[in-house]
A and B are shown apart, each in its own frame.
Chain A
Amino acid sequence: MEDGDSLDGCRVLIVEDDAMISMMLQDLLEDMGCSVVGVASRLEEAQRKGDAGGFDVALLDVNLRGEHTFPVAESMAQRRQPFVLTTGYATTILPDALRGATLLQKPYRRQDLERALWDAMHDG
């Protein structure tokens, strides 16, 4: 991984139901030079914003108030839209369509986040 500037100007969509974490992410991402282009905290909002596009990479919390965001991730995968799945689960069983997706365990350090975003955009 290169330095933070490789993510410079990178447009990020945040899907996260916890406001505190969402705010922290925005701070972190902006520190890295990214621009947060959208935040979603509900599934249908996530779906809509995902479908709308206009971002380079999405940070997707797997569980939104008890609902899985796999459908959103799957449609992103179909569109070859890079995304990172964030999860509190130690071991998350991913659907077949999402095998190989970049996974980030909560809580995470800044460098973990940078690596995950970079991986998602370059492997995808």
Chain B
Amino acid sequence: MSMANDIREDGDTAVFPADEAAGAARIFEAAGHAPPGGPSQRPHDEAESGAMEPAGDPDEAHAPHERLLAVIQELQARNEELARANSELNSLIAGTGIGTLFLDNELRVRRFTPHLASTFELVAADVGRPFAELAARFETENLLADAQYALRDAVAVERESVGKEGSFYRVRVQPGHAGNGKVDGVALTFVDISERERRDEEVRSLNVELETGKTFAESIVATVREPMLVLDQDLRVVMASRAFYRDFLTTPEATVHELFYDLGDRQWDIPDLRRLLDDVLPEHTSLEAFEVRHDFGAGERIILLNARRLRQQPGVEPLILLTFEDITDRSRTMQALAASESKYRQLFESLDEGFCIIEMMFDDAGQPVDYRFLEVNSAFYRNTGLADVRGRTMKELIPEHEQYWFDIYGRVATTGEPARFEQRGEGMHRWFDVYAFRAGAPGQHQVAILFNDVTARKELTIGQARLASIVDTSDDAIISKDLDGVIASWNRGAEEMFGYAAEEAIGRTIASLLIPADRQYEEDEILRRLRGGESVDHFETVRRHKDGSLLDVSVTISPLRNKDGRIIGASKIARDVTERKRYERHRELLIQELNHRVKNTLASVQALAAQTFRGAGMRESVANFEARLLAMSAAHDVLTRQSWQGAGIREVVGDAVATWAGKSGQRASFHGPELRLRPAVALALAMALHELATNAVKYGALSNKKGKVSIEWSVSDDPQPCFRLCWRECGGPPVHAPVRRGFGSRLIEYGLARDLGGTVDLSFNAGGVECRIEAPLEGIREEGAV
């Protein structure tokens, strides 16, 4: 290393300085006094022997003995001195490792150093040979010419040569100086500069690298996306990136070599920043994210400053790298993101659907076994009935929670395939409509779940399914239609009742399919009422079978509404009442026939009586008989009109009054609640009223011009339901109780009382006849009647 330094120091000097050249000359001069010998083969003693041949010593030889001796001694001394000098010189030459070749004035080899011998394969026998024969070995062009030139002109010549195996040599050809100022031979020194050459090469390539690096750094600075400044330690700008010019609307001219604080409108001259750069940075290597807010001309920007002190070698001025990160947009984005996140949170909170994020838990075999709630919204609690679930696992909350939930969510977590399904959570007693999808990264095993409690709907659906099966198995025709009467559904009952298959009926109108021509107006009326939201109950009509036969049907029709409550059609249930109708008609006929026979029999009896008592002076008796017969017949009429299903008391009383009140004008009045009487009671009451009226017309209130009859009845609840009727006469002639109870009185007092199961009190008061009838309601009222 030090050797290299030395050489380099030599190498730095292009030409020999005069004193050094003189130094070299002195060595050479001493060597010149000592006769040359084989340098390596002959150390000091050989040099001594070499001194035995004086080389041109000019001392005189004719001196006395003593003088001679003194001369010898002196010579001896000088020889010793010379030998010592020679020896020193040899050690020096050997020690330097510099190959040196000494030539005499004839350019013969005088001597050479051991180093040179090994390098250029010189041997002892080469001493005395002309250099011209050896020059080629030194692989240096024109070396002979250089030597001749140096010898002739006494100048030093230097040349570099490339030796074997790429080694470099600097060859210096130096004329030797004899003591008398003449040139004495030439010394060629070969300095191996291979090492130095390499160092030079390194330096050159380092320089290139340095240059490249600098360019590289500059181009990085120039092209880096963020604004960047390189400052020297006085905070002057050394370099700036293009982004800096662009972002801060400035130019290289206004920036480079300027003080950082002077840039722009001194926007960087901020106390905080000054403290930072002046105080903090010198103590630290870097600082990061120093926030500066400033309006650079296009609205306020938020800039984060990063500063770094660049480590340099000692003695080199440190640089400061400043980068500027404009986070205005990012900051806005972050704010927007935060706002949007809060918006989403609000959204999730306002959802009616339950929402949660869960983390699936798997066992060692990879089977899903449980999950933990990470996030839930408030609707979650409403929809599940659970409380305080965050951070807890499903099995902690509901140990019996069904495995299929874990399977489904586990699959979503591992495959990323979303799942939509309806399931029942028995532990929560609810049905859920669920949409589950993977949240976050696959490895997190998180699943987001959006769900609804659909228990009510599900149960309705189950109810509907049951309903549908009822509809399907019903014997009634159950049909739905829209508001234009177009059939939308048609059950099996309808198929059987009307003979059309569902696919034949659906899409056609009720009117065209089922309604006989003479009843088309009915459907128009039905549709009109449906549109108004009305129902049609138990409407009895006639409908047409596919085979053309007519069916008696009882129809109930209700409007169908959609979930908004708008009427969109109607459901219609039709029952085939043809059989019932037939039965009813049959029954009607039977009653008619019965009545016909009863009436005809009564007429026959009437005729029989008339014939029997004809001309026997019994005209009045016959008339009485006839009147009683007709009263009974009238009561039968009432019963017949009601198909023998009891008779309304008003009709019974009204009819009875009508038969004699026609002549009496408004002299009879009746009042009381409507009551349905049993047929037998109705007949008995009618006959009793007939007898009372007959008596009143003959003797009582209706026998004069001003008497009146009032009939009033009531129903009371004390202590049990009781019927009371009162016949009261007034304004008639004075009443005399009959001496003998006639048929009429007996019919009323015994017959009626027995038929009613109650009591009858007939009083012949002086002011007028009064008849009070009292009977338990139970005995007189027709069961099941209104």
Contact = CB atoms under 8 A, between A and B. Distances in A.
Contacts of A109: 626-627, 630
Contacts of B630: 107-109
Given A18-B604, A24-B606, A90-B636, A107 B599 contact: yes
Contacts of A108: 603, 630
B599 A106 contact: yes
A107 B629 contact: yes
A97 interface: no
Contacts of A28: 610
Interface string A6-42: 0000000000001011011101100000000000000
Interface string A104-117: 01111100000000
Contacts of B614: 27
Interface SS of chain B: helix, strand, loop or mixed?
helix
A21 B599 contact: no
A27 B611 contact: yes
A71 interface: no
Given A21-B604, A63-B596, A89-B595, A107 B610 contact: no
A91 B603 contact: no
Interface of A: 18, 20-21, 23-25, 27-28, 63, 87-91, 105-109
Interface size of B as a range: 20 to 34
Contacts of A105: 599, 633, 637
B607 interface: yes
A105 B638 CA distance: 13
A21 to B, nearest CB: 5
B611 A20 contact: yes
12 contacts: A18-B603, A18-B604, A23-B607, A24-B603, A88-B595, A89-B599, A89-B640, A90-B595, A90-B641, A91-B641, A107-B602, A109-B630
Nearest to B596: A88
A24 B600 contact: no
Contact of B602 (A27, A87, A106): A106
Nearest to A66: B593
B694 to A, nearest CB: 14
Given A18-B604, A20-B611, A21-B606, 5 more contacts: A20-B608, A21-B603, A89-B596, A107-B633, A108-B630
A66 B203 CA distance: 149
B592 interface: yes
B606 A107 contact: yes
A118 B207 CA distance: 155
B637 A27 contact: no
Contacts of B640: 89-91
B78 interface: no
B598 interface: yes
Which of A23, A87, A105, A106 has the largest count of B CB atoms less than 10 A from its CB? A106
B597 interface: yes
Contacts of B596: 63, 87-89
Given A27-B610, A27-B611, A88 B626 contact: no
A80 to B, nearest CB: 28
Contacts of B629: 107
A88 B598 contact: yes
Contacts of B597: 88
A109 B659 CA distance: 11
